[in-house]
Homo-oligomer: A and B are copies of this chain.
Amino acid sequence: MSANKLPAASGRLAHRMSDIAPFYVMELLSRAHALEAAGRSVIHLEVGEPDFATPQPIVAAGTAALQQRLPYTHALGVPALRSAISAHYRQRFGVTVDPARIVITAGASGALLLALGVLIDPGDEVLLTDPGYPCNRQFVRALEGRPVSLPVDAESHYQLSAEMVARAWSKRTAAVLLASPANPTGTIVPATMLRAIHEVVRARAGTLMVDEIYQGLVYDSEPQTALGFADDIFVINSFSKYFQMTGWRLGWLVVPPGYVREVEKLAQNLFICASTPAQYAALAAFTPETLAITEQRRAEFRARRDYLLPALRQLGFEIPLTPEGAFYLYADCARLTQDSQRFAWDVLEETGVAITPGLDFGAHETHRYVRFSYCAALPTLAEAVSRLRNFLD
């Protein structure tokens, strides 16, 4: 079933395809699976999804939904789910968001395609962080826009600043896409900086887009939303991470009031609708019963971060700041290797610990970095640390 044995395309190929990169980690993952098939124990710290199963109340709601007919829903989503998300913004964040502005999508992926689709013309530039979620630049490129990746380091909290946005702005800049908390670095955009960036963008008649898919997963403060101070921001969210619904493919997009009909047109044509059973399952996401489970898991993620972060530092990885959220540690391994790609392969072969090389997240110094995901139980993390210690000694 591997594509590796197949020939390369000999016929017509769109030019965008030469700019769109694969997930480099997939080859490492194939090797990890091969090792497992051969009986080796592999610890998966390369994954970008929670190890927890979907909370039982959501599964129960989904199971009940399967007993009904499952036709297409409205392109913007099941009204009850849009209302439930609106109520969640009110209850959790004290923010009023008209349900009419909430669009249910096939994961955050669907939300990104819709938001960029209504905004970006060929040649339009979108400012992004490097490192960042790898698909963001590919979405921009797929729509014939130009992703402009701005290098970020620990000094800038691995996020853009208002000054960086202002400096990078060109006549062709259309939008800025931030993630808070971010993948792979786990950092959040401080509220004051977010407002400052928003001001810079607005002053230039651009559009601010904020990816909040790790919103509930912050460990040193309460979750925030960019919707708290402006309604002209496109906000991308998802049931995948905080609600542990990755495989269900369900997310949402909050759009500025004037864009609802445009997004609806595009959603009708490109998606018809998001998964019907997933939408009915997610109706149980914002109940006290489910939130008790997800908050308990949030505490578990915090405990994992608080274990793994000092442990990795002790092994020689440099992680200059404490990531506030998501479930990743973006570790500088310059003291251990000159080539993080090679390092990740060696670590896998020698220890059975799978981690993601920085290359998947951009081009800025990524040969120095690897990403550890802490989507594994504490004893498993301890075992991984022990194996790494033996390898590095």
Residues of A within 8 A of B (CB): 1-3, 5-17, 20-23, 26, 47, 49, 53-54, 59, 62-63, 66-73, 75-76, 79, 82-83, 99-101, 106-107, 109, 113, 117-122, 124, 134-135, 138-139, 142-144, 174-175, 205-207, 232, 245-249, 256-262, 264-266, 268-278
> A321 to B101, alpha carbons, bound, how many Å?
45
Contacts of A21 in B (CB 8 A): 265
> A302 to B245, alpha carbons, bound, how many Å?
40
> A3 to B74, alpha carbons, bound, how many Å?
12
Closest to A278 in B: B275
Most chain B CB within 10 A, of A3, A23, A247, A249, is at A247
Which of B63, B269, B277 makes the CB contact (< 8 A) with A138? B269
| Contact A260/B3 with A49-B71, A142-B270, A273-B247 known, Cβ cut-off 8 Å | yes
Closest to A14 in B: B121
Known contacts A6-B258, A12-B207, A249-B249; 13 further A-B pairs (Cβ under 8 A): A1-B79, A6-B100, A12-B175, A14-B121, A15-B121, A71-B247, A72-B246, A138-B269, A246-B272, A246-B276, A247-B273, A249-B273, A275-B275
Shortest A17–chain B CB gap in Å is 5
Contacts of A106 in B (CB 8 A): 106, 249, 271
Please state if A23 and B247 are interface contacts (CB–CB under 8 Å).
no
Please state if B12 and A135 are interface contacts (CB–CB under 8 Å).
no
A-B contact list, 14 entries, CB within 8 Å: A3-B100, A3-B264, A6-B258, A8-B258, A9-B258, A13-B119, A22-B264, A26-B75, A54-B70, A63-B63, A142-B270, A248-B277, A249-B249, A249-B276
| Contact A59/B66 with A15-B121, A205-B11, A247-B72 known, Cβ cut-off 8 Å | yes
> A99 to B2, alpha carbons, bound, how many Å?
10
Shortest A269–chain B CB gap in Å is 4
> A274 to B62, alpha carbons, bound, how many Å?
17
> A388 to B14, alpha carbons, bound, how many Å?
49
Shortest A36–chain B CB gap in Å is 15
Contacts of A245 in B (CB 8 A): 70
> A324 to B10, alpha carbons, bound, how many Å?
36
Which of B11, B13, B63, B72 makes the CB contact (< 8 A) with A49? B72
> A99 to B122, alpha carbons, bound, how many Å?
35
Closest to A271 in B: B109
> A180 to B249, alpha carbons, bound, how many Å?
29
